[in-house]
Amino acid sequence: MDILKTKSDMREWSKKKKKDSKTICLVPTMGYFHQGHISLMEKGKPLCDELVVSLFVNPAQFGPNEDLNSYPSNIENDLALAEKAGVTAVFLPDKKNIYPENFQTQIKLQDLPKFLCGKFRPVHFAGVATVVTKLFNIVMPDIAIFGQKDYQQLQIIKQLTLDLDFDIKIMAGDIIREKDGLAMSSRNAYLSKVQRTSALSLSKSLNLAKELIAGGEKNPAAVKNRIEAFICTFPETNIEYISFCNPKTLENIDSIENHVLLAIAVKVGKTRLIDNALINPAQ
């Protein structure tokens, strides 16, 4: 497994592979790997000749009061896990290499960041869109894979790929859950024992919503109220949003008829957790 620490080394590596007609799949990450990351690598492995993982905690996507400085990290372990998953190169740049002095450009989408997490994290998606655009230009992948837990991020990346004419196939990886249902996240490492139990309120809410909808409930507000009351029974929870929306545009819907996205963000203690489900009332 090759480790490339600068964008020029990474680009040279990719150019050489492309010259040899190799296809490249990129899994962008911020490290501290769990099974969710590994599943994205495993998904990519059979689809390409070269599997690249980028590992960069992107300061541009953290707000001033967010967890940039405490974001968990274990690079040695990440490299061992990546190698085991069959990764052929890890792109491990530092901050200065990605954002040199006098860096000035931002990629901002018009509509998709107005909803869900974007409402509460005003700088987040411009930071994500900018770094992902840079990663696409540096690594030049044929395929890039993103987890569906960050559903809004995935939609934003699909849109920017289309808008900016990247010749890259964007693929989604399923949400990977712990045995008890908690969606895997590097941020789960922050949770105390009590908070870990409260964190289950998210996945349990999704199940509760599915049950209510399967029982014929079509009113999003009614389901939302039930979920809200349910989450509030868990200690240290603070709901940021519960949203039923159109899975493509992310706009709120007022009746649960076709495919809908239910997306939830809850602060458990200081840890912000998200989860979501695509629900089809016909099924």
Hey, which residues are catalytic here?
37
The separation between CA 171 and the C-alpha centre of its own chain, rounded to angstroms, equals 12
Least distance to ligand PAF, CB of residue 108, Å: 15
Rounded to whole angstroms, the Cα distance separating 118 from 110 reads 11
- Give me the numbers of helices (H) and strands (E) for the chain, helices first please: 10, 9
Q: How far is the CB of 106 from ligand PAF (least distance, A)?
A: 14
CB atoms within 10 A of CB 181: 14
Nearer to ligand PAF, 128 or 184 (CB): 128
Q: Which is nearer to ligand PAF, 87 or 231 (CB)?
A: 87
CB-neighbour burial class of residue 110 (10 A; exposed 0-12, middle 13-18, buried 19+):
exposed
Q: For residue 210, give the nearest of 273, 278, 152, 116 by alpha carbon.
A: 278
- Number of Cβ within 10 Å of residue 262's Cβ equals 24
- Residues at the interface with ligand PAF (CB under 6 A): 28-30, 58, 61, 128, 131-132, 150, 153
**Closer residue to ligand PAF (CB): 70 or 225:** 70
Question: Which is closer to ligand PAF, CB of 58 or CB of 88?
Answer: 58
Exposed (0-12), middle (13-18) or buried (19+): which is 62, by Cβ within 10 Å?
Answer: middle
